[in-house]
Chains A and B, each alone.
Chain A
Amino acid sequence: MEITFEHVTHSYDANSPMANLGLDDVSLKIDDKKFTAIVGQTGSGKSTLVRHINALLKPTSGKLTVGDRVITSETNNKNLKPLRKKVGMVFQFPESQLFEETVEKDIMFGPMNFGFSESDAKDAAHEMIELVGLSKDYLQKSPFDLSGGQMRRVAIAGVLASNPETIILDEPTAGLDPVGRHEIMDLFKNLQSKGRTIILITHNMDDVANYADEMAVMSQGKLVASGLPSDVFNNQDLLKNDLLTLPQSAQFAQSLAQKYFQFNKLPITIDELSAEIKQQVNGD
Chain B
Amino acid sequence: MEKIISIKNLNYTYPDSKKPAINNLTVDIYKNEWLSIVGKNGSGKSTLTKLIDGLIDADSGTIEIDGQEINENNIWEVRTKIGIVFQNPDHQFVGATVEDDVAFGLENQGMPREQMVKEVDHALELVGMHDFKKRDPQTLSGGQKQRVAIAGVLATKPRIIIMDESTSMLDPEGRRTVLNLIQNLRQQQDLTIISITHDISETELSQRIVVLSDGQIVRDDIPKNIYNIGTNLSKFGLEEPFSDELISTLRDSLELPEGYLNEEELMKQLWKLRSNM
- Chain B residues lying within 8 Å of A41, measured Cβ to Cβ, are 141, 171, 173
A62 within 8 A of B: no
Contact A174:B169 (CB < 8 A) given known A260-B275, A271-B249: yes
- Chain A residues lying within 8 Å of B263, measured Cβ to Cβ, are 252, 255
- Chain B residues lying within 8 Å of A255, measured Cβ to Cβ, are 263, 267
A211 within 8 A of B: no
* Docked-complex contact A178 and B42, CB < 8 angstroms: no
Per-position contact with B for A162-187: 1 when CB-CB < 8 Å, else 0? 00000000010011111110000000
- Chain B residues lying within 8 Å of A178, measured Cβ to Cβ, are 198-200, 234, 237-239
A147 within 8 A of B: yes
A145 within 8 A of B: yes
Nearest A residue to B275 via CB reads A260
Nearest B residue to A204 via CB reads B172
Interface residues on B, range: 35 or more
- Chain B residues lying within 8 Å of A145, measured Cβ to Cβ, are 14, 16
A51 within 8 A of B: no
Taking the closest CB of chain B, its distance from the CB of A211, in whole angstroms, is 15
- Chain A residues lying within 8 Å of B267, measured Cβ to Cβ, are 252, 255-256
Contact A277:B41 (CB < 8 A) given known A175-B168, A180-B237, A261-B270: no
Among B198, B243, B245, the most chain A Cβ lie within 10 Å of the Cβ of B198
* Docked-complex contact A273 and B239, CB < 8 angstroms: no
Query: Chain A interface secondary structure, helix, strand, loop or mixed?
Result: helix
* Docked-complex contact A245 and B172, CB < 8 angstroms: yes
* Docked-complex contact A150 and B42, CB < 8 angstroms: yes
Per-position contact with B for A273-284: 1 when CB-CB < 8 Å, else 0? 110011011110
Per-position contact with A for B190-201: 1 when CB-CB < 8 Å, else 0? 000000001110
A212-270 interface with B by 8 A CB criterion: 245, 248-249, 252, 255-256, 259-261, 270
A278 to B143, CA, bound (A): 39
| A41-B171, A149-B40, A149-B42 known, 16 other contacts, Cβ within 8 Å | A42-B141, A42-B171, A43-B141, A150-B42, A171-B169, A174-B168, A175-B165, A176-B41, A178-B237, A180-B41, A180-B237, A203-B171, A248-B242, A256-B271, A259-B275, A281-B270
Question: Interface of B with A (CB < 8 Å)?
Answer: 14, 16, 39-42, 46, 87-88, 141-143, 165, 168-174, 198-200, 234, 237-239, 242-243, 245-246, 249-250, 253-254, 263, 267, 270-271, 273-275, 277
